[in-house]
């Protein structure tokens, strides 16, 4: 049995959207998860403003790294590697993280690992429930993505089965919350109102669930329009909008489709583990319905706690540690941010071949 101290100690940096996340893990053990969010700065715009996010990352980066190191009680010199989200995400925001990771890795003489944001959302569950079974089906639902992915090796083989053809699931929550004047982000507040509403009060449409529709793709724009029209009609008639019932019925339409398609994918592919990640995985009804449907289908459900579902640095560190543990090559210094990095590339090596110069740098440690 391996001593836990032999497991790789990795720091992970995540800046793909509006969270500056820095996490530190040892193997599959979480040591620190520091997050600085610029969400309040975007609230008045009703969505994330890329330039505002980039500037906020720049300001938060060094203090967040220091906070994570302190929280973990480790020295930067003891790290076995530095992992960073290379994509997908907002180009300018990613660039801040990649540049910081390169600077720290170079100065400390540590290997650099560029990793995929979506694969990190899956890998983070190792910090909560231990080693990820292979294969695992993953339903990733957030403000930026809604995908069904089949992972047979989280460091090298993640296959996309389906994705949204229009809005992401979280985006639909945010837009409906805006129509209901509930503020941004919309998911948590709709979740709260829905608990007191009737999910069957209004029959909203389930997108792409017809017999000829693609089995694993999602669509939320028709649902969004239907809910907005329903609300407008109530207002035009001078009637009060039943916020709780609208929230519950809208939420039910989203989570019904998500869980139905995820369970179907597991059955079709013969996979008996489903993980759900991304910000929308924090949704209480999604968790409950997924649990119910997985139990009926004999599928083991794994959902990390909400703080690990939203964007964070721990997930990047978790995937980085897995890269080190499986002997994946470090990335070269020309690693670049790729805003549309496909999920089929969990590991981003860069284009130069040699990473040997890391060892030369380590002799004269530039970071004290
Ligand atoms: O993963 P995340 O923090 O950032 C992105 O990568 O997008 O996800 C944020 C999204 C937002 O759209 C937010 O409204 C949604 O996740 N969200 C929720 C809940 N908590 C956050 N959606 C539904 N129910 C929730 N409880
Ligand atoms: Zn994300």
- Measured over the CA atoms of residue 275, residue 137, residue 256 and residue 182, the dihedral's sign is positive
Same-domain check for residues 77 and 147: no
Q: Could you give the CA distance from residue 298 to residue 226 in angstroms, rounded to a whole number?
A: 34
- Domain-embedded: residue 367: no
Asked whether the predicted pLDDT for residue 364 surpasses 50, the reply is no
One domain, residues 68 and 206: no
Residue 140 annotated as binding? Answer: yes
84 in any annotated domain = yes
* pTM exceeds cut of 0.85: yes
Q: For atom 19 of ligand 1, which residue has the closest CA?
A: 187
Q: Give the residue, by CA position, lying nearest to ligand 1 atom 16.
A: 279
Encoded tokens for 168: 């992401």
Is 125 annotated as ligand-binding? no
Same domain, 286 and 320: no
Dist CA 22 CA 32 (whole Å): 8
Residues 100 and 144 in one domain: no
208 lines ligand 1 (CB under 6 A): no
Q: Are 286 and 276 in contact (CB under 8 A)?
A: yes
- The domain total for the chain is 2
Same domain, residue pair 77 and 142 = no
- Domain with residue 29: its CATH number is 3.30.420.40
Atom of ligand 1 nearest to the CA of 18: 4
CA-CA distance, 191 to 197, in Å (whole number)? 10
What is the rounded distance in angstroms from the CA atom of residue 244 to the CA atom of residue 252? 12
For residue 346, pLDDT over 90 is answered with yes
Is 264 within a domain?
Answer: yes
Compute, in angstroms, the gap from residue 330 CA to the centroid of ligand 1: 31
Distance from Cα 271 to the centre of ligand 1, integer Å: 26
Q: What is the pLDDT of residue 359?
A: 43
pLDDT in the model for residue 357: 45
Cα distance between residue 152 and residue 135, in whole Å: 4
**Phi, psi angle pair for 294, to nearest 5°:** -70, -40
Please report whether residue 154 resides in a domain: yes
> Which residues sit opposite 149 in a β-bridge?
138, 160
Q: What is the pLDDT of residue 362?
A: 42
Higher pLDDT, 138 or 19: 138
Give residue-wise pLDDT tens across range 151-177: 999 999 999 999 999 999 999 999 999
pLDDT at 4: 60
Full residue range of the structural domain in which residue 183 is found: 132-304
Cβ of residue 279 lying under 6 Å from some atom of ligand 1:
yes
Q: What is the pLDDT of residue 367?
A: 42
40 is in an annotated binding site: no
Q: Are residues 65 and 183 in the same domain?
A: no
For residue 221, pLDDT over 90 is answered with yes
Task: Judge whether residue 51 has pLDDT over 50.
Answer: yes
Note the pLDDT tens digit of each residue in 242-285. 999 999 999 999 999 999 999 999 999 999 999 999 999 999 99
> Does 316 map to a domain?
yes
**What is the CA(122)–ligand 2 centre distance, in A?**
10
Query: Do 199 and 298 reside in the same domain of the chain?
Result: yes
CB of 304 within 6 A of ligand 1: the answer is no
Q: What confidence category does residue 185 fall into, taking pLDDT thresholds of 50, 70 and 90?
A: confident
331 annotated as a binding-site residue:
no
Inside any domain, residue 365: no
User: What pLDDT, in 10s, does the model give residues 227-242?
Assistant: 999 999 999 999 999 9
Q: Which residues contact 30 (CB under 8 A, 6 or more apart)?
A: 23, 24, 127, 314, 318
């Amino acid at each position: 049995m391996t001593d836990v101290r032999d497991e790789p100690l990795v720091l992970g940096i995540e800046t793909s959207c509006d969270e500056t996340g820095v996490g530190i893990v040892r193997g599959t053990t979480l040591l620190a998860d520091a997050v600085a969010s610029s969400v309040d700065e975007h609230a008045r715009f009703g969505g994330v403003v890329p330039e505002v996010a980039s500037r906020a990352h720049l300001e938060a980066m060094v203090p967040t790294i220091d906070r994570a190191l302190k929280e973990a009680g480790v020295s930067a010199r003891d790290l076995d590697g530095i992992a960073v989200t290379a994509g997908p995400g907002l180009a300018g925001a990613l660039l801040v993280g990649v540049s910081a990771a390169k600077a720290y890795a170079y100065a400390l003489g540590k290997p650099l690992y560029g990793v995929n944001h979506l694969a990190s959302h899956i890998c983070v569950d190792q910090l909560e429930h231990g080693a990820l079974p292979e294969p695992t089906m993953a339903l990733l639902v957030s403000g930026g993505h809604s995908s069904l992915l089949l992972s047979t090796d989280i460091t090298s083989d993640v296959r996309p089965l389906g994705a949204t053809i229009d809005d992401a699931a979280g985006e639909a929550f945010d837009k409906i919350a805006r129509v209901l004047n509930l503020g941004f982000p919309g998911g948590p507040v709709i979740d709260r109102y829905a608990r007191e509403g009737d999910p069957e009060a209004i029959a909203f449409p389930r997108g792409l669930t017809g017999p000829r529709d693609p089995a694993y793709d999602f669509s939320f724009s028709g649902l969004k329009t239907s809910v907005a029209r329903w609300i407008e009609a109530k207002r035009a008639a001078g009637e009060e909008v039943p916020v709780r019932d609208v929230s519950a019925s809208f939420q039910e339409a989203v989570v019904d489709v998500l869980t139905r398609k995820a369970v179907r994918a597991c059955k079709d592919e013969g996979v008996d583990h489903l993980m759900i990640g991304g910000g929308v995985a924090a949704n209480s009804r999604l968790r409950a319905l997924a649990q119910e449907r997985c139990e009926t289908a004999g599928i083991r459900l794994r959902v990390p706690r909400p703080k690990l579902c939203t964007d964070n640095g721990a997930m990047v560190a978790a995937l980085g540690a897995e890269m080190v543990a499986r002997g994946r090559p470090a990335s070269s210094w020309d690693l670049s941010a790729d805003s549309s990095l496909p999920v089929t590339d969990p590991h981003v090596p860069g284009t130069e071949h040699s990473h040997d110069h890391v060892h030369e740098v380590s002799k004269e440690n530039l970071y004290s």
